[in-house]
Chain A
Amino acid sequence: MTVPSRAVATLSLRAIRKVLGSNAILKGIDLEVSAGEFVVLVGPSGCGKSTLLRTIAGLETPDEGAITLGGKDVTRAEPRERDIAMVFQSYALYPHLTVRDNLAFGLRLRGESEATVKARVEEVSQMLGLGALLDRYPRDMSGGQRQRVAMGRAIARRPKLFLFDEPLSNLDAALRNQVRVEIKKLHATLDATMIYVTHDQVEAMTLADQLVVLNGGKVEQKGPPLEVYARPASRFVAGFLGSPSMNFADARVSDDGATAVAEGLRAPIDRQRFSGLERGRAVVVGIRPHDVTVRRGESSAQGYRDGAQPAEISVPVDVVEAMGFEAYAHGQVAGAAFVARVEGRPDELPRRGETLALSVEAANVHLFDPETGRSLAESKS
């Protein structure tokens, strides 16, 4: 379907701060969103992501900082002056209006002619398959249908910028997957700038061109999602993205500087990424459950065969969760919980009480500062 071109805008946030009562919600946020980009703000609840979105919408005013939309300073502008559309978590459909009038509401407020209103409603209802619902009221529709109408209302306006506030969190799992794909398609069709808030990492990973991980009112890391996943800048980001989440263990850099060691753990260090680590330095080792491989025929760290390398990790197994296509073995390494993904036929899976010998490649070992939680990798820039 061809969609008429619209004014696609860039957005720029500079040192946004917001204090509510005695709580600093946003502590200096900088963000650049280029035209047509899909940015996902992700983080745990209370990290400030919704407040940031509401600040962009104009529903909250920042205490400090500046917001520029399409080159125009809108820091103090009313929501209606910003020409943005927002899809609310609750959908916020007008209960006394039919779907048709819900879609037309914003257009009529902006004084569009009835002919334009009719054409746009028609266009949007075709795009989202709302034709049969146009004369219904929100109360007569399912959650999925309401969600669609909420998106349609945003699209009909042809705004400069789309904001989504956890739009899928009230849908059931199957519908969520379906709508997620639709949003991705919609972004491609509309070629619009979109900012999307979620706490769901699957949505974050799959939708984003640029992922912004927020924590405690600050940007922890931003970048393309796969890059953020592969090279987390902090222990927080590393633990937040990925399921099950990354394993962490306190360790020390060995005397030769080649491994990080702890009880049951000897993790190889990629010395190019982590250069200049002092010998004996305390580090936090991070290893994803999916990045380990089981060394068959070995039952413990000591029992390696002639010529083989010693196992990098040995995990006494407490619990095994078999998922059918894979299994998660839970145990303890260096006093902290450790989860390993293992594959194999049911009779090959480790059992409770066994010690699992695992190996990990240096490229998949992440090191963090125990004090600050920041990654010890040399930053590229």
Chain B
Amino acid sequence: MREHSRKGPWWLEPLSHFVLLLAVAFALYPVLWVVSLALDGVQRPVARAIPWPESPSLDNFRAIIFARGNTGEWLFGRQLANSILVSAATALTAIAIATPAAYALARFPSFVGAKGGTKALLATQMFPGVASAVPLYMLLDKLRLLDTRSGLVLVYATTAVPFAIFQLRGAFETIPKDLEEAAMVDGATRFQAFVKVVLPAARPALAVTALFAFMSAWNEFILAATFLSRESAFTLPVALQRHVGEYDAAWGKFAAGSIIVSVPVMALFYALQKHLVGGLTSGGVKG
């Protein structure tokens, strides 16, 4: 943190705080609206300057959380589990595949196919996932993976892995080679140096990359809506969307659902924030 400086006229500080407050209000206003809608019994948004629920209740949350399917099963539980499993599996797959790939690209950038492979990976990032929705649908159909969690994980991994490779390659490149060499002179094999020195040094980057993969899978809607048709197979975004039908929009439930969907991501951010703070490698080499 920079030392607090007292330079400039006296009104500069209050003014900057005021401007910052405005910015925060601007950013949070829509969120406040969502919260107010979720806590209101009324399903239709009323335009008001101050977002405050007319008749505060938790009915919307109850309706979402305790919703039951036609067969009487606990839908929300199923869908929440689907979302968590699919997102976590996507993050794990992305990290597991991308970590060795990125390390290889960062440390041995001239192996056969490194350049072409990198370009091919980049190319996959240029197309939106929706562009391949139809062929993917056909593929999953042939593989009998429609309406399954593993099918969805497979599809999400195809975009998450290249992205993770780029992220991690950058991270590995910033880790000084000296560290691995020191470990190897100290008695480690290259693999041990990788596991005992490089991976711990790359922990912040691994955490961020995993979080990104998790979040993109958690929030993804279009592909999930395309490949899933059974309510019990839905992920939360798909389930959420069903509350806003063509003829009837239950905005209160939708808002409550949005909040419920956001909570795990916020919790993850909170849990991982110490890893998100960079500079873990600082101090290892030089000053």
Contact = CB atoms under 8 A, between A and B. Distances in A.
Partners in one complex: yes
Interface of A: 57-59, 78-80, 84-86, 88, 90-96, 105-106, 109-110, 137-143, 146, 153, 157, 170
Given A95-B282, A170-B287, 10 more contacts: A78-B189, A85-B185, A88-B178, A91-B286, A95-B281, A109-B183, A109-B186, A139-B279, A141-B283, A157-B187
B69 interface: no
B16 to A, nearest CB: 31
A140 to B, nearest CB: 7
Nearest to B175: A95
B285 A93 contact: yes
B192 interface: yes
B187 A92 contact: no
11 contacts: A85-B185, A85-B186, A86-B181, A88-B178, A88-B285, A93-B182, A95-B281, A106-B186, A138-B284, A139-B279, A146-B283
Interface of B: 176, 178-179, 181-189, 192, 196-197, 200-201, 203, 279-287
A95 B284 contact: yes
B185 A57 contact: yes
Nearest to A97: B200
A96 B279 CA distance: 11
Contacts of B286: 90-91, 143, 170
A268 to B, nearest CB: 50
Contact of B284 (A92, A142, A143): A92
Nearest to B184: A79
Contact of A142 (B186, B203, B287): B287
Contacts of A141: 283
Given A90-B176, A90-B178, A90-B285, A95 B280 contact: yes
Given A80-B189, A109-B188, A88 B284 contact: no
Nearest to A150: B182
A140 B280 CA distance: 11
A153 B197 CA distance: 15
Closest 10 CB pairs of A and B: A139-B283, A95-B284, A106-B186, A90-B285, A92-B182, A92-B178, A138-B283, A109-B187, A96-B200, A143-B287
